[in-house]
Amino acid sequence: MNPVVLIFLVFYYVVVVGIGFWAVKKGGAKDLEGYLLGGRKVGPLVTAMTLQSTSMSGYMFLGGGSAGYTTGYWSIWYAVGDIGGGVVNLSVIGRRMRKLSKILGSLTSIEYLEHRYPHAATRLISGSLSVFLLFFYVLAQFIAGGKGMALVTGLPYGAALAIAVGIIMLYTFMGGYFAVAYTDFFQSMVMVIGMIWIFAATMINVGGFTAVNESIAQIDPTYLSIWGKDLANQYAWSDLLGAVLIFSVGYMGWPHVVTRHMAMESPKTARLAGVYSTIWNLFFVTAPYLLGIFAIIVLPNLADPEMAIFTLASELLPAAVTGIVMAAIMAAIMSTADSILLQVGTIASRDIFQRFFHPKATDHQMVWVSRILVLIFGIVGLIIAVFNPPGVFAVTIFTTSVLGSAFLPAYVCAVWWKKANTPGALSSIIGGALSAFLFEKLGTGIDPMLGGLIVSWLLIIIVSKATQKSHPVADYIVKAMDEAIKIGPIPKDMLAKSDFNLAQEASGINKKIDK
Amino acid sequence: MPDNKETTSVKTKINLIPGTINENDAKNIVSKYSEHHSVQVQKLIYYPYYWFLFSFTVKTLFGKSRSTKASCLVDLINNHAATTDSFDIAEKEVLTAGILEQDYTQEQALKTAKTYLMHSSIHNMKVLFAPDSEILKQSLVHKPFWIVKCTNRDRHSFKVIVDAVTGKFQVL
């Protein structure tokens, strides 16, 4: 344990808690009220920083580094998909979904699925599946936090994990009011500084890309291959496609990512957001994988590859700076974990508990359900992470594969294919999740993401076509889709500048005109 | 039975969110983005909302937050809610024919507004504590929209609504 590192980490937590306390007591500026209540946004810098930083998680620092360390340049395939993921996501479903969800009046992504594919089973299955899989994603954050804390404090993993989970839970419950806007911004600043610092320090240490590649070639030239160490994935096109797909399109299955589309202002802002996210991703998405590759030279005998970035920081940086980098890693873990925990709480309370068990549940009862569930998740997650901790990389890839396979065709067809109906969507969600799971467990040689996606796409197309007569898509949904698509002799500029927020008024006026 | 002319000139008093965008402004806004189209302002309509001004506080681990005001408009045709900036309300007589009929009641609107605020506070404020809310003001209000028709050389046309308060628009 290095006391200076620990002091900096503790100082970081004190600042985060201090900001929360100050913000609650002070209240907030008027603009922040709008931001927090979903009406408006704070400045573009804060918005962009906050949004992008929430996509940085424990996976980036542990999973990304581990993939780079163990497979070499093969791991960059994951980054390739991720770099363009934001743009693909926004272009394919973002704009249309924003309008359709507004017209249908959906508040959550699960509710949106039920509105588009009307049946109670849509919400029950989608909600349960999301809660189950998001739990594993939270688990990955817990493990990442525990490992980091163990390195910093020198405590045994179990004790360090308990502290990390405690901090994450406290942070989740601490949320509230203006604290969120300020702490999110502060956390994102720490993440940016920490990542740039460790990357620059490692780059200087290894002497640049050419030097690092020459050194790696001496250890094992296959690290430099696009097929991975020992050419383990040579001509394994399924694995390669799966690696690219996982974060390029897999994100479309994440409920908390998809929900972001429902808050866009206009197609123009959506386009700008896509550009910003690509620029951001070029560095921040590739950096962890590259750091893992650099670590092959700096830390040739690392026992746990997931510790690559943590150990690089403690080996190469002065203690005080290591404390900042550790704080950045904890910031990524905490800001992801609390968002997912809240998302899970909402899905469980609103989409499952209120919808199916207690339709007259009061707001207070629903909040209690959320809170209890978050606590249960924390305790169960802690137990699993102590006794049988899976790898952060493996858990994240597995969760994304299953979520992507389950939901991607349903979300895409929701806005692009008017014949996609409820039986088609349900069979695709169930079949996609199940097949991705089986491809993973049975080890067929087919990448779970790729296999799962093929199955779920086939199911939504075949079942929707086969059941068109018995389960036609309701007229009001087709009409809403037409409004969301808005094809016809409309100038592009006009569509680009249209305000998404007026979509529901446009729908209301159309209803009255039709009458 | 009144004739058509009388019907269209009948006026009703409503609580209006006054707009500053006049007919000419609406035409200019749409014309800017629809070159090669002939632009024609068709009419002014009044869209019904129920407006609630809530005051609410949230319990946090650091104690109760200061009370905050949240202004919420519920669209009475779709029953969807949204938070909004503060605005003025003026009582005004307008042509009855331009007022869109509401499909939802105040009671339904209140339920929708509360659900929406609850959802927003949990998600955007990341709270696991239910906010305590109180209604400070409420009223049935109408917002003016211009309906503008654009026609191209091939006589294909489309319509646009222009928010007479903000000048923002959306294709119908």
Domain count, chain B: 1
Give the C-alpha separation, A223 to A226, whole Å. Answer: 8
Q: In chain A, whose CA is at the least distance from the CA of B172?
A: A506
From the list B82, B119, B158, which residue is nearest A489 (CB)? B158
Binning pLDDT at 50, 70 and 90, where does residue A31 land?
Answer: very low
CA B156 to chain centre: 29
Min Cα–Cα distance to chain B from A485, Å = 11
CB-based contact, B63 to chain A, within 8 Å: yes
Mean pLDDT for A99-125 is 86
- Mark which residues 102-121 of B lie under 8 Å from A by CB: 114-121
What pLDDT was estimated at residue A271?
Answer: 67
pLDDT at A93 over 90: no
- Does the beta-carbon distance from B83 to A511 stay under 8 Å? no
Determine, for residues A338 and B172 on separate chains, whether the beta-carbon distance falls below 8 Å: no
Query: What is chain A's mean pLDDT, rounded?
Result: 81
State the pLDDT confidence band at A351, using cuts at 50, 70 and 90: confident
Higher pLDDT residue, A510 or B26? Answer: B26
Q: With respect to residue B5, please indicate whether it lies within any of the assigned structural domains.
A: no
Given a contact cutoff of 8 angstroms between Cβ atoms, the answer to whether B39 and B149 are in contact is: yes
On whether ipTM exceeds 0.90, the answer is no
Q: Would residue B29 count as lying in a domain?
A: no
Specify if B91 maps to a domain.
yes
| Range with the largest mean pLDDT of A193-207, A415-429, A494-508 | A415-429
Separation CA A513–CA A175 (nearest Å): 45
The mean-pLDDT minimum among A255-264, A329-338, A398-407, B18-27 falls in: A255-264
In a domain, B156, yes or no: no
- Label the pairing between strands B63-64 and B169-171: unpaired
| B166 located within any domain | no
Closest residue in chain B to residue A510, using alpha carbons only: B172
Most A-contacting residue of B35, B43, B122, B156 (CB-CB within 10 A), to test interface: B122
SS3 A111: helix
Establish if B115 belongs to a structural domain: yes
Please give the pLDDT value at position A70: 93
**Which of the two residues, A486 and A508, has the higher pLDDT score?**
A508
- Would residue B99 count as lying in a domain? yes
Domain with B91 in it: 11-19+44-148
Amino acid at A90: L
Q: How far apart are CA A438 and CA A455, in angstroms?
A: 12
Predicted local confidence at residue B47, as pLDDT: 92
Instruction: Identify which of B116, B157, B170 has the shortest CB distance to residue A506.
Output: B170
CB A457 within 8 A of CB A466: no
List, in order, residues 6 or more apart from A308 with CB less than 8 Å away.
A65, A66, A68, A69, A291, A292, A295, A299, A302
Contact B76, B103 (CB under 8 A): yes
Residue that wins the pLDDT comparison between B6 and A162: A162
pLDDT higher for A447 or A56?
A: A447
| A498/chain B closest Cα distance in angstroms | 5
Instruction: State the smallest CA–CA distance between residue A225 and chain B in angstroms.
Output: 44
Q: What is the mean pLDDT of residues A493-503?
A: 74
Question: How far A359 CA lies from chain B's nearest CA (Å)?
Answer: 13
End-to-end CA distance of chain A: 73
The candidate with the shortest Cα–Cα distance to A258, out of A383, A92, A131, is A92
Cα angle for residues A485, A488, A490 (degrees, 5° grid): 95
Residue (of B106, B98, B39, B30) closest to B73 by Cα position: B106
Q: Where are the alpha helices (DSSP H) in A207-357?
A: 208-219, 237-248, 255-261, 267-284, 286-298, 308-316, 319-346
Between A24-28, A62-66, A481-485, the lowest mean confidence (pLDDT) is in A24-28
pLDDT digits (tens, 9 = 90+) for A405-452: 999 999 999 989 999 999 999 999 999 999 999 998 887 778 888 899
Q: How far apart are CA A514 and CA A508, in angstroms?
A: 10
Are A57 and A141 contacting, i.e. CB atoms less than 8 angstroms apart?
Answer: yes
Closest approach of B1 to chain A, Cα-based (Å)? 22
**Residue pLDDT, tens place only, A279-333:** 777 888 899 999 999 999 999 989 889 889 989 988 898 888 888 888 878 877 8
Report chain A residues whose CB lies below 8 A from the CB of B69: 33
Please answer yes or no on whether B65 and A24 come within 8 Å at the CB atom. yes
Give contacts of B119 with chain A, Cβ < 8 Å: 107-108, 346, 350
- For the stretch A226-278, pLDDT in tens is 888 888 888 778 778 877 887 777 777 777 677 666 666 666 666 666 777 77
Q: Is residue B163 part of a domain?
A: no
Average pLDDT estimate for A337-345: 79
Percent of chain A with pLDDT over 70: 85
Percent of chain A with pLDDT over 90: 24
**Residue A172: exposure state from Cβ atoms within 10 A (0-12, 13-18, ≥19):** buried
Look up residue B153 and give its two tokens.
Answer: 């050389």
Distance in angstroms (rounded) separating the CA atoms of residues A190 and B25: 46
Length of chain A: 515
